[in-house]
Each structure stands twice: as C-alpha cells, then as structure tokens.
Amino acid sequence: MDVRDLSVSYGTTKAVDKVSLHINSGEIFGLLGPNGAGKTSTLSAIEGLLKPDSGTVLVDGVDVQRHPAQAMSKMGVQLQATSFQAQLRIKQIVQLYAGLYGVQLSDRQITEGLNAIGLGHETLKLFKQLSGGQQQRLSLFIAVIHDPVLLLLDEPTSGLDPQSRRQLWSGIEHLRDQGGSILLTTHSMEEAQAVCDRVAIIDHGKVLATDAPDKLIEQHKDDPLVRQAARGAVTLEDVFIGLTGSEIRD
Amino acid sequence: MTSAPSVAAKPNTRLIFTALLRADFIVFLKNRRSLLLSILLPYFILVSTNSKKGTAGLGGSLFVIGLSITYGIASTSIMGYSLAVARDRERGVFQRLRVTPASTWAIMGSRLIVQVVANLIIALVVVILGGRVHHLSLSAGQYGLVLLVSILGGAMFLCIGQALVALIKSSETVNSTARLLYIGLILLALLGQGGSLGDTWGTVARWSPVGTVMTLFAGVLNLSAWNGREVESLLAAVGYVVVFAVVGIRWFQWEVR
C-alpha cells in the first residue's frame, strides 16, 4: 500500500498533514500516536470513509478515491468499535459479509471457518451474546473472509484480556506469514514492539519517525527527552513519549 | 491471504445486492411484531368505524379505508424506518458496511426495498379487511391501484423518515420526534378533513402528506369520482417525495460524530 501526501481537515483543523506511508507485502506496520494525533483519520481516509483534502492512497495499485469498490475488495477492515446488525445470527453475519465481498461459501465452509476460530458452537448466537474476545475473533475472521492483500486494524486488542490479545497477535502474524500487508493502530507500545515489523509515530497529523521498533529505540536512545522519559533501559514507549511529549491528550 | 480462487476480480453488484437484501429481509422478519402492529391499528379503525354514523363522520367508507392504510404505512415508514436507520448508524452498522465493496446506494436501496414490501403487505391486508368490514367489492384493477398508491404514499413517508434521520442525529430524539410527527400528521388529517378544526385547518389537512394520500386512496377505491382533486393530490404527493428525498439525501450522515 502506498499513501502519498495525504491531508485531511475538519473545518480549519488539519487532522492529517501530508502523511506518506509505504507498506510492503508480508509486513505488519503499526501507526502509533496519542489521542487526536490523526491515526483514525489517516485510517478512515485509507478506508475511503473520509474524503482527503489532497493526496492519494493506492492499494495493490488501485486508487481508493477513484475506484473505491475495487479498492475495498482488496482490503479487509476491522473497525475500532465493530457492530453488526443486532438481529442477525453469527452465521447470517458471515453469509452477509461473504456476499458483500463476492465470496461464495457453503454452510459447511462457514461452519469450518467458525470452528477454526473457536466459534463453531456459537453460529446461532447474536453478535452481542459473544464475549469481547469472541467478537474480536469474529470481526477478524470477517475482515479476512475475502483473502485481502491489505488488512486494516484499528486498535484491534483494546479491551481484550492477555490470552485473547496473544491469540489475536498470533492470528495477525499468521496472516503476515501468508504474504499479507497489515496496518494497525494501537496505543499499546508492548503490542507495537511485539508484532510490528515497522512503526510510524504520528502526532498533530504529521509522521515524526518511521522505522523498525528496535531501530527507533537505537536511533533515539540518547535524545534528552527520551532519556528523561526512560525508567531503566530505553523502550519504544520512552521514544514515543520523547517524540510526542508527556502532556495528557483528550 | 492472497490466493483465494473464489473471490470475484471486480465487485459483483448482483451478489452484493442479494446479500444485503437477504440480510435486510431477515431483520424485517425478526421485527414482524411491528408489522403486525401496523396492521392491527388500521384494523381497529376499520372495526370501530363500522357504523353509519362513524363512517359518515370520517367522510365515508372509502375515506376510512384510505385513512386506515395511511395509518399503517405511515407508522412503519416514519417511525419504524427512521428509528432503525438512526439506531444502526449509532451502533456503527453502516460504518462497517461502508468499508466493504457495497455502494451506499446498494446499502440504502436494499433497506428501502424491504420497506416497500412491508408497505405493500400492509396495504393489501388492510384493503381486504376494509372491503369485508365495510361490505365493499373491489375489482382486481382497484387492488392494483391501491398497491400503486401505497408505493407512492410509502415512498413519501419513507422520504419523511429519511429526512428525519438526516436532520436529527440522536436515535432517541429521532424516536420521539417521529412519534410526535406521526401523531400530529394523523390528528391533523383526521380532525381537519372531518371539519372539526374549521376551513383553514381543513385546507391544511387536505394538503398535508396524510391528507393527500388519503384522498388518493379514496380516489382509487371509487374511480368514478376521480377528478381534479385527486390529480392535485397526486402532484402534491410527488412534490413531497422530491422535497423530502432531497433533504434526506443531502443532509444524511453515515456516522454520528
């Protein structure tokens, strides 16, 4: 995926300011930033939900603004707060989204797929009757149901217990190993360090630094602000605080 | 993640629309209680006005049947549709659908088709019940015309519902406003057309959305009396559709920020 000079404004407020990103095949890329830094706006513009002021987003060579439907068919998306139609059962939700992505699945294939994520016995339940971890697993299953070349995950592990989080990480890494590109936003530096091959730190709509977590630590470990934030050995979180500041954002 | 053979190279519009329609019809069937209520209330009106005095007070049998059908389709279109859209928007259901290859027109079009089917069911059931209760015998052509008017009337009320969710963000406020609007429109047509509110309000009621649809229903149920009044109502109904559709589409937001 290529994002070039992407800018998004809300009225006079510039939420994303000429952001450029490139994500390779078989790479997990993390977008890190404090609240209001422009992560979700960047992601929304990539997803085609927001019309950018300027810039282009190419997914597997397809321009998201010019050919949204074709671009969407190459993307899998897991939103921060996913919600499906409250009256639909799990199996019906899977059938709906398979149809939307042009994937024809038999009942047996749906059951096998749900079995693989541990939801084989929940096919007749409503989405709200699933636990948080089960909901996230189902959302991820639906996000990759059409075998996308790019997977976008907006804070995928927020609110999950450690077991569910680890399971989701394994799932994401498995997708990466199959050659997919993954862009995720997260507030968890532990998560970024554990699963991301590269990260970009974004604040006030601008990309401040992009590199592998270890390399970012190496590059910034001697910065005075990073040293000030460190409590022992320098971590990615210290680099993050050093670059974006320690004041609380709303 | 990159080698599924069953994925269509280009988004398949037919598959997308079929999937949306299927899901929306499932949701519609799960909400069959509200459909039943939209039929029971008109049925209650038909039965409770089944006397010479009661029927005459409301302008005759044909007007009562027209009023009953209008009650039914207005309740499901103004209250049911607008609330369902407002709630799904608040829950993020639309947001999730919009990050798929489905176009916004397909997402909304599928819901509207389901709603049109609901309106047709209500109209057909009520006109059959009305014919029996008020001892009217209708031709196949008249049934066809009743269905056509319910499509037009339903479209008008759906556009009003769409305008409501376009102008109001909170589902709670949409819910209360839709109820007030529904009751207001029905009372205006009922009392205004019945003459209880005087000439000025009578004219307002006659040109109100409910008034125009009631006139059209009464017109198609008694084709020999069809005249300029019905033609004017037809034009007014089309005008309402256009105005509320423009408002409903122009100001509708897919997410609540």
Q: Is the pLDDT of residue B51 over 70?
A: no
Tell me the C-alpha distance between A228 and A206, whole Å: 23
CB within 8 Å: B101 and A72: yes
For chain B, report the end-to-end CA distance as a whole number of angstroms.
33
Interchain contact B135–A (C-beta under 8 A) = no
Q: Is the pLDDT of residue A1 over 60?
A: yes
pLDDT reported for residue A249: 72
Burial B29-56 (b: 16+ CB within 10 A, else e): eeeeebbeebbeebbebbeebeeeeebe
CB-CB neighbors (< 8 A) of B31 in chain A? 87
Name the residue among B154, B148, B158, B155 with its Cα closest to residue B219: B148
Interchain contact A100–B (C-beta under 8 A) = yes
For residue B15, what is the nearest residue in chain A, using CA coordinates?
Answer: A99
pLDDT range class, residue A109, cuts 50, 70, 90: very high
Interval B209-232 mean pLDDT: 85
* B143 or B163, which is more confident: B163
Nearest beta carbon to residue A99 from set B16, B95, B98? B16
DSSP state of B100: S
Interval B16-38 mean pLDDT: 90
Tell me the C-alpha distance between A139 and A155, whole Å: 12
pLDDT reported for residue B243: 97
Q: Is the confidence metric ipTM above 0.95 for this complex?
A: no
Interchain contact B173–A (C-beta under 8 A) = no
Burial A233-243 (b: 16+ CB within 10 A, else e): ebbbbbbbbbb
What are the tens digits of pLDDT across the range B102-112? 999 999 999 99
pLDDT range class, residue B56, cuts 50, 70, 90: low
* B229 or A207, which is more confident: A207
Interchain contact B11–A (C-beta under 8 A) = yes
DSSP state of B223: G
* B197 or B100, which is more confident: B100
For chain A, report the end-to-end CA distance as a whole number of angstroms.
30
Nearest beta carbon to residue A99 from set B15, B93, B103? B15
CB-CB neighbors (< 8 A) of A77 in chain B? 99
DSSP string, chain A: -EEEEEEEEETTEEEEEEEEEE--TT-EEEEE--TTSSHHHHHHHHHTSS--SEEEEEETTEETTT-HHHHHTTEEEE-TT----TT-BHHHHHHHHHHHTT----HHHHHHHHHHTT-TT-TTSBGGGS-HHHHHHHHHHHHTTT--SEEEEESTTTT--HHHHHHHHHHHHHHHHTT-EEEEEES-HHHHHHH-SEEEEEETTEEEEEE-HHHHHHHHTT-HHHHHH-SSS--HHHHHHHHH-SS---
Largest distance between two CA atoms of chain B? 74
pLDDT reported for residue B187: 86
CA distances from B113 to B14, B17, B19 (A): 15, 11, 13
pLDDT reported for residue B152: 94
* B195 or A114, which is more confident: A114
What are the tens digits of pLDDT across the range A70-106? 999 999 999 877 689 989 999 999 999 999 999 988 9
Interchain contact B83–A (C-beta under 8 A) = no
CB-CB neighbors (< 8 A) of B102 in chain A? 100
Neighbours of A86 (CB within 10 A): 14
pLDDT range class, residue A125, cuts 50, 70, 90: very high
Minimum mean pLDDT range among A112-116, B13-17, B129-133, B156-160:
B129-133
pLDDT range class, residue B4, cuts 50, 70, 90: very low
What are the tens digits of pLDDT across the range A189-198? 889 998 999 9
Q: Which amino acid is at B188?
A: L
* Residue B196 CB partners (closer than 8 Å, separation 6+): none
Interchain contact A116–B (C-beta under 8 A) = no
CB within 8 Å: B101 and A97: no
Backbone angles phi, psi at A49, to 5 degrees: -80, -25
